[in-house]
Structure 1
Amino acid sequence: METSFAITGKGYTIVASDTTAARSIVKMKVDEDRIKVLSSHLLMACSGEPGDTIQFSEFVERNIRLFQIRNNYSLKPSAAAAWIRRSLAQSLRSRKPYSVNLLLGGYDTTSHRPHLYWVDYLGTMTEVPFAAHGYGSYFVLSLLDKYHDPEAPLEEGLAVLKRCMDEVAKRLIVNPSAYKIKIVDKDGVREIEL
């Protein structure tokens, strides 16, 4: 029942994920943060099996931090996405694969461009202007296809995001109660509320 989506715009990437943790018909938690801040200009929204998402996101976070400590610089979004994709692909060929889908959003401080990567549990990765995972993606992707503008300022991007959240609330039987929304741009990662 998880829903996460992300869009890029003129100098920013917005990532949103619902905060409901549910299993079958039981809602266990309504303040789950599925968006992990990996570095000052990189964040990742995970969805999938609850134990796998927590374990994999912490594994990625710690390894990216270790790289930064060892080398005195952070990974660019493209390099981080390639490493995460390889980690998921290697896990798929092990005895205990991770069942994790993720959206990786970042801002490249050298080229001054926002990036968004869609990665699924099979280790498939692609760079996209907008993306979604979960049941909400059935409704959100068509809206994003129609209303997404890669040159839109932040206010317009947030308006499109709000439109997506309203559509999911209207169409999905199990309505997510709230969303965590994080933005990454030249100033770094910050959380906002709509």
Structure 2
Amino acid sequence: MAHRYDINSALLRDLKVPLDGRTSSSHSATPKQHSQGPSVSGTAVIGVAFKDGIVLAADTVGSYGTLCKIRTVPRLLKVNKNTVLAMSGDYADFQFIEQHIGKQSIRDFNSDDGYEWSPKSLHSWLTRVLYNARSKIDPLWNSYVVGGYETETNRPYLGGLTMLGISYTSPYVATGFGRFIAQPFLADQVEKNPELDEKTARVAAIHALRLLYYRNRESSNKYQLAVVTKDNAVVEPVKEFETAWDTALMIRGYD
């Protein structure tokens, strides 16, 4: 019994808690800390590879919890002429990453050595950043999709990242709720036509967003597309796809 008391006493001393259970004045002056969590966030991101490049798509809503607070939040970032980054998750953490990418891009420009971010190098760097943050129990609450064109291999590159720093490459990618709703549809499209062209990839990406919009209250029918080819990367202006709710009366099972 005495041995048990000694262990508990040592534990309490390490935690700086008095043995009598009362809180000291120094302990009460410690700032109150809250668990980390996203505030304004974005939903799923879609990525589709076609034979000459990559199509990325995301809606533009920023949700505060379950409230669609901001309707025009861009979540596609053009890094350079060969690379585009898309994000789902906490928007503040995305801005943090965006600032670091901007600083590194300035350093590369000032070095004037011809080096700049490639899709593969950005994907690798983000993997290390997210894994390092989660290892410190301070994760960045984002999932990313990196799309671009690798000039060295002369092939399109599409990679995904989770907030835990788990990275992967695939001919199609969907984050968040899109993994369950949009990804099966994209897999079916790619299996039917392995050599997609740009037009087919664009249609598939927009249709995937439409599937999510009908099933996710935090989604929006306002969206952005980014198309990356060997020649350039273009982030298009915000557009809006048409919706039809006539079939809603026939749907069952979502009550």
Q: CA deviation at 1:189?
A: 0.8
Greater alpha carbon shift after TM alignment, 107-116 vs 159-168: 159-168
- Secondary structure at the counterpart of residue 44 of structure 1: strand
Question: How many residues were matched structurally?
Answer: 194
Q: What residue identity is the alignment partner of 2:212?
A: V
Q: Identity across aligned pairs (percent)?
A: 19
Q: What residue identity is the alignment partner of 1:102?
A: Y
Counterpart in the other structure of 1:187? 231
Query: Could you list the per-position Cα deviations for residues 77-116 of structure 1 after superposition, in whole angstroms to 9, with x for gaps in the alignment?
Result: 2222111111111222236331221000010123221000
Counterpart in the other structure of 2:69? 28
The structure where strand makes up a greater share of residues is 1
Q: Give me the whole-angstrom Cα distance separating, in 2, the residues matched to 1:27 and 1:162.
A: 20
* Closer/same/farther in 2, CA of residues 66 and 167 from structure 1, 3 Å limit: same
Report if aligned partners of 1:60, 1:84 keep a CA contact under 8 Å in 2. Answer: no
In the alignment, does 2:48 pair up with 1:16?
no
Report if aligned partners of 1:68, 1:75 keep a CA contact under 8 Å in 2. Answer: no
Q: What residue identity is the alignment partner of 1:155?
A: K
- Secondary structure at the counterpart of residue 114 of structure 1: strand
Q: What residue identity is the alignment partner of 1:167?
A: L
Q: CA deviation at 1:64?
A: 4.1
In the alignment, does 2:146 pair up with 1:104?
yes
* Closer/same/farther in 2, CA of residues 97 and 166 from structure 1, 3 Å limit: closer
Q: Give me the whole-angstrom Cα distance separating, in 1, the residues matched to 2:217 and 2:67.
A: 14
Q: Which has the higher contact order (CA 8 A, sep 6+)?
A: 1
Q: What residue identity is the alignment partner of 2:59?
A: D
* Closer/same/farther in 2, CA of residues 187 and 171 from structure 1, 3 Å limit: same
Counterpart in the other structure of 1:151? 195
TM-score (normalizing by structure 2): 0.70
Counterpart in the other structure of 1:59? 100
Larger radius of gyration: 2
Report if aligned partners of 1:56, 1:98 keep a CA contact under 8 Å in 2. Answer: no
Counterpart in the other structure of 2:208? 164
Q: CA deviation at 1:155?
A: 0.9
Q: CA deviation at 1:25?
A: 3.5
1:72-83 paired onto structure 2 within 5 Å: 72-83=114-125
In the alignment, does 2:130 pair up with 1:88?
yes
* Closer/same/farther in 2, CA of residues 100 and 169 from structure 1, 3 Å limit: closer
In the alignment, does 2:89 pair up with 1:48?
yes
Counterpart in the other structure of 2:180? 138
Query: Could you list the per-position Cα deviations for residues 34-67 of structure 1 after superposition, in whole angstroms to 9, with x for gaps in the alignment?
Result: 1111111101111212211211232234324423
Q: Give me the whole-angstrom Cα distance separating, in 2, the residues matched to 1:35 and 1:186.
A: 18
Query: Could you list the per-position Cα deviations for residues 109-141 of structure 1 after superposition, in whole angstroms to 9, with x for gaps in the alignment?
Result: 232210001111111111111101122332100
| CA-atom RMSD in angstroms | 1.9
Counterpart in the other structure of 1:38? 79
Q: Give me the whole-angstrom Cα distance separating, in 2, the residues matched to 1:64 and 1:86.
A: 18
Report if aligned partners of 2:130, 2:165 keep a CA contact under 8 Å in 1. Answer: yes
- Secondary structure at the counterpart of residue 54 of structure 2: strand
Report if aligned partners of 2:46, 2:175 keep a CA contact under 8 Å in 1. Answer: yes
